[in-house]
Amino acid sequence: MTKLKTIAERLRNNWRDPLIRRHVGLLFLGKAIGLGIVLTLMTKWFLPATLGAQNAPAAAPDPIATINAINTAWTLVAAFLVFGMQVGFVMLEAGFARSRESVNILVEGIADTCICGVTFWLWGFAFMFEPGNGFIGTTGFASVIWLLLRGDLPDPGQAALLEAALVAGVDHGPHAPSIAVARMAATCGVGLNNAVASGVNVLGDSNGGAGQQCVELLDDVVARQVGGADLAAAVDATIAAWRARGVWYLPGFGHRFHPHDPRRDPLLSLVDDAVSDGTVAGSHVRAARAVEAALNRGRSTPVPMNIDGATAVIYAELGFPAPLARGLFVLSRSVGILAHAWEETQQGRRNKGPMPPTILPTYLG
């Protein structure tokens, strides 16, 4: 009780000081100015749109709206508490500073109130009450991949071209090494994540790296053109340089089963459309067709551009560096690996090996 009387007496004595009364008055005035600025901005830009929506037909009660109303009420209560807390902070800071610094501290209190209020109106409200994060439900997966790798969102033509390449690389049948490894791993009780990781880990230079290597090949052709060579000469020089390094099977060209890869034409057709509407430049697709023509010159057995070559054209035309061509292929193929691993787990087999069950080993000991 004695402490309360002491505090009350101290407050009365301080209040009799005209300088303290002046500082406290300026503090509350500053808070009122900041709040007034915020309310003015909200009234001018936010409330007209809200009031215009009141003429809409009545809708069924929305539980989300109720939750938002409760959140809004709590936010206002918390804001009022913070305003009161700011007064305490200013008085505390002013008490620790020299009297000549008190005005600066009061101005700081006004400034941070204005800045924080406007900042909440511009950004904080959206984070608290708007659905999603701005991309969920509004932005496709391919566009988000582009955003994370490039730092900006693609235009619709670029996103469609990237998505086509990703879809084309999803699956390659159970005979592909990555798929076979994932299916065998799935029967060993390691879980889907480890089965998928096992398949992804065998996507190396010989199985999965052709896209990256083909982008490097096409970049070489385009670089020679930039250096002044015509397309035919640039292609011949590039092929010769790669074969001088011991690369006889050029990445992105040739197929064990298809004399004409059925995925080539649909993908290149999309690239041609993108070139015609200005989405991509077209230098890499021209280089790829020229390399294909050079490889088939004088041959009776065709050497077709394969899926790795067609997707490499897309990644190169979209401006992705060669290593990302492999990364994007791995991202795409992991979907197919997941599907195969899941299918294998549903069949109930255990410890599946690379040899069919009909082929039994012969004991020679």
Taking the alpha carbons at both ends of the chain, their separation in whole angstroms is 99
The closest of 176, 184, 177 to 352, measured between CA atoms, is 184
* Cα separation, 81 vs 74, whole angstroms: 11
DSSP 216-245: HHHHHHHHHHHTT--HHHHHHHHHHHHHHT
Per-residue pLDDT of the chain (365 residues; tens, 9 = 90+): 676 777 778 777 777 888 877 877 887 787 778 777 766 766 666 555 444 444 545 555 565 566 667 777 777 788 778 777 777 777 777 777 777 777 777 777 777 777 777 777 777 766 666 655 567 778 899 999 999 999 899 999 999 999 999 999 998 778 888 999 999 999 998 999 999 999 999 999 888 899 999 999 999 999 999 999 999 999 999 999 999 999 989 999 998 777 888 899 999 999 999 999 999 999 999 999 999 999 999 888 889 999 999 999 999 999 999 999 999 999 999 999 999 999 999 988 887 877 777 777 777 86
**Bridge partners, residue 305, by sequence:** 253
Q: Which two tokens stand for residue 193?
A: 């994540």
Quote the pTM value: 0.64
Neighbours of 234 (CB within 10 A): 22
Within 218-316, strands assigned E span none
Q: Which two tokens stand for residue 105?
A: 């501290």
Q: Are 186 and 299 in contact (CB under 8 A)?
A: no
Domains of the chain in start order, with CATH, are 2-129 (no CATH), 148-345 (1.10.230.10)
